[in-house]
Amino acid sequence: MSSELSPIDKAKFAAAKRAAALVESGMRAGLGTGSTAAWLGRCPGERVRNDGLKIKAVPTSTATAELARSEGIEVIALDEAKWLDLTIDGADEFDGHLNLIKGGGGALLQEKIVATASDQMVVIADVGKKVETLGAFPLPIEVIPFGLQTTQKLVEEALVSMDVLGRETSLRMDGATPFATDEGNRIIDLHLKRIGDARQLALTLNQMPGVVENGLFIDICDRVIIGFGDGKVEVRDIDSGTVENSQVDFAEESNLFADLAD
């Protein structure tokens, strides 16, 4: 039941429910990875099963692909889709210009490729992800395993000239071994605390040999859908400059909540 969900889970569900309403039959849609992935799969999946929604989804990770298939959503590769109508994903942080930090789930490379191959990117998030300035959440960068320590050292040296408050870096671990992305790469998390010039930092990082991609999504997100624990939903559109508010009724979603409790 909805009472068994935390306020954050309710907020994520409310945002995902609103985002799912943007998906129409015939669309090719990108589906994101991370803590929002369960809602991203469940909400469109419910429409596939109950309303006959027909979509083709491009997942941004192996985990998301498995979830989508389990919900009855047809999964295809990006090369098959070629271009997407929209991508729905989460974010670890977003600012007032809808610039993002992503990669907490370790899928930032696929997420950025899919998002930039879409007519629009829609981010769903709880209100706690809104920040004045990016950087409180550690910025992930994906790097190749070869020369890993050398790349990490070069990144640390480059941060000295960047407008950031912190310069500590750490290799992301999965238990006793380094975390591996779906492409077999590694993740280095940059603990910057505050990023003064996100665009300059993104360009600098991607010019470094060994760095595959960084988790700064600049000028990629078109809309952010913010969920609140009471079911309120706020939609911010960067292109139109509009802010719309609506409400999700948790009582009408008892089937989805019951599934989560099983």
Distances (CA, A) of 78 to 34, 95, 121, 128, 221: 19, 28, 15, 31, 19
Q: Cα 104–194–165 angle (5° rounding)?
A: 120
Give the residue numbers marked as catalytic: 111
Backbone φ and ψ of 9, nearest 5°: -65, -40
Longest Cα–Cα distance of the chain, Å, equals 55
CA distances from 212 to 63, 102, 113, 171, 201 (A): 21, 15, 12, 15, 14
Do 114 and 220 contact (CB within 8 A), yes or no? no
For the record, the structure tokens of 84 come out as: 């997407």
Determine the distance from the C-alpha atom of residue 16 to the mean position of all C-alpha atoms in its chain, rounded to a whole number: 12
Alpha-helical runs (H) found in the chain: 7-20, 37-51, 62-70, 78-81, 108-116, 148-159, 198-206, 254-261
Give just the sign of the alpha carbon dihedral 150, 151, 154, 160.
negative
Give the H or E element holding residue 173. Answer: strand 173-174
